[in-house]
Amino acid sequence: MTIPRRTYRLQIMLNADELAVLDAWRFERRMPSRSDAVRELMRLGQDAPGDSAEWPAKSADFGIIDPPID
């Protein structure tokens, strides 16, 4: 199976605490790069139960430190 070439770049901004959480998660799983960790987290998020339409729509309401809003 051939993996499609990655031709799109996505830039995200994280604060120091969010980056520390991402790096800890990545190193715990021995992932080779932050990009690989973010792709895996996106895959896991797609497979997770729940409806994201219930979440607030403001960018400031989303983060990786605080739990999702119930």
Q: Mean pLDDT for each 10-residue chunk of the chain (70 residues)?
A: 87 92 96 94 85 65 62
pLDDT (0 to 100) of residue 55: 61
Q: pTM for the complete prediction?
A: 0.69
pLDDT (0 to 100) of residue 30: 97
pLDDT (0 to 100) of residue 34: 95
- Where is 45: in which H helix or E strand? helix 34-47
| For the chain, the helix, strand and coil percentages under 3-state DSSP, each to the nearest 5 | 45, 0, 55
